[in-house]
Amino acid sequence: MTTARTQKIALITGGSRGLGRNTAVNLARKGVDVILTYHSRRDEADAAVAEIAALGRKSVALKLDAGDIASFDAFTQQVRQALRETWNSDSFDYLVNNAGIAGRVPFAETTEALFDQLVDVHLKGVYFLTQKLLPLLADGGRIVNLSSGLARFTLPGMSAYAMMKGGIEVFTRYLAKELGPRGIAVNTVAPGAIATDFGGGLVRDNEEVNRHVAEVTALARAGLPDDIGPMIAALLSDDNRWINGQRIEVSGGAYL
């Protein structure tokens, strides 16, 4: 049961940097308040909260290891407390499962330890964090799960990472079906290569990689955070309430 309120609230994992932060800021520009998570850089989280506050919106930063499934009960309690103390509410409206780690290793060199870490962060973590947070998600809410263009096209060294994202896309369809009776829409957003610090800033900082991305993309450049955050914010709005169970690639037309 949820407390009646009109103010929309989003929870974005990995919202202190990169695509997560860009999404948080663009939601704030649309009048949405934000709970964002960070892994270790509290300074980046505080900067994101300050940027959102400058837009006139409320924001709370909570620490989360997206691959530590055992910590999710305690994290859910922190979310519950933040909702009560900051918004006098027992629910939020939008969940964006964005937190992730890179895993660019050739198949022949992929260790079981790395594979398990990718499973925990990108697959098992998303599955069970969503499950834990589900009682706090308002009826009529929205979930966006972040996938990758790599679940459609293939690049050497990304087999394990892309497998996890393929699993997320299947998970999205099942969630959409099972949560439909509550009016909750669930979609996948699959970015292409984006110039951020993800993966050590490979696309952003390596000129050869950046040039290759531009060559295989119809719009002839690598993506930027501002190509993704506004799209997710728009997808979460009521204008797109009838989009459900879909995979939407946001890659500028990569590998067409």
* Number of Cβ atoms within 10 Å of the Cβ of 170: 12
pLDDT of 3 strictly over 50: no
- 75-117 tens-digit pLDDT: 999 999 999 999 999 999 999 999 999 888 999 999 999 999 9
Locate 45 and state its tokens: 């989280």
- 237-256 tens-digit pLDDT: 999 999 999 999 999 999 99
What is the rounded CA–CA span in Å between residue 48 and residue 109?
A: 37
Q: Where are the domains of the chain?
A: 9-196+225-250
Give yes or no: 174 in active site: no
CA-based nearest residue to 91, from 76, 72, 111, 106: 76
Alpha carbon dihedral 182, 183, 184, 187, in 10-degree steps, equals 140
- The pLDDT mean for the chain works out to 93
Q: Which of 127, 161, 174, 255 is catalytic?
A: 161
DSSP 217: B
pLDDT of 202 strictly over 90: no
Confidence tier at 213 by pLDDT (50, 70, 90):
confident
- The pLDDT value given to residue 1: 42
On whether the CB atoms of residues 145 and 171 are closer than 8 A, the answer is yes
Mean pLDDT calculated for residue range 68-75: 98
Domain 9-196+225-250, second-level architecture? 3-Layer(aba) Sandwich (3.40)
- 143-165 tens-digit pLDDT: 999 999 999 999 899 999 999 99
DSSP 223: B
